[in-house]
Amino acid sequence: MMNLICSDLEGVFIPEIWINVALRTGIEELKLTTRDISDYDVLMKRRLQILDANNLKLKDIMDVIAGVDPLEGAVEFVEWLRSNYQLIVVSDTFDQFAQPLMKKMGWPTIFCHTLLVDETGRVTGYKLRQADAKRKTVNALRSLDYRVVAFGDSYNDIGMLQAADQGILFSPPDNVVAEYPEFPVTRNYDELKKLILASVA
């Protein structure tokens, strides 16, 4: 079987976008991510309420993203992955956020969702590519006879890790490690590289 890698994005290759928005705006609640809240719909609805309450628009978020760079070593690690395997970034971020970030990372393939934005630039909602998209992506790829190694850091990655031939936690918070002890834990790209190589041997 051909090996294929599926990875998360935020917290793995780039810093958490919403945490950076929280730091820029001073809105503490925007620091909550899928590391803290397992129900993505609950999390996103709350974020949209906060944006409305503070009159924050898409441009405000995009201004923050413009200053976000990949994590140290991420670009080189993505280059290594792409030179040895097929890589698909499977993220719960949005097309609008992803484009400038993928440019900084050399344009890897990404599957993600889409924000709904009105003519004033207000974010009115979001459209999921599909429900449980990460798990379904891996299931679809395995149905095509790919052997999938997947890694991520948060609650919303667990379905993807469970569906993969090998799931790996990368730099996860302690609560996720405690709840999902079946997955090996890596803390840096060197550890992750070694485990990927062992998984595809």
Q: Which two tokens stand for residue 147?
A: 């052997």
Q: Could you give the count of Cα atoms lying within 13 Å of 68 in the half-sphere of its Cβ?
A: 28
How many angstroms separate the CA atoms of 157 and 8, rounded? 7
Residue 147's SS3 state is: strand
**Rg of the Cα trace of the chain?**
17
CA-nearest of 156, 151, 145, 155 to 199 is: 151
Catalytic status, residue 153? no
Among 8, 16, 153, 157, the active-site one is 8
C-beta of residue 11 within 8 angstroms of C-beta of residue 74: no
What one-character DSSP code corresponds to residue 29?
G
Active site residue: 10, 92, 153, 157, which one?
Answer: 10
Is 28 designated active site? no
The residues that are catalytic are 8, 10
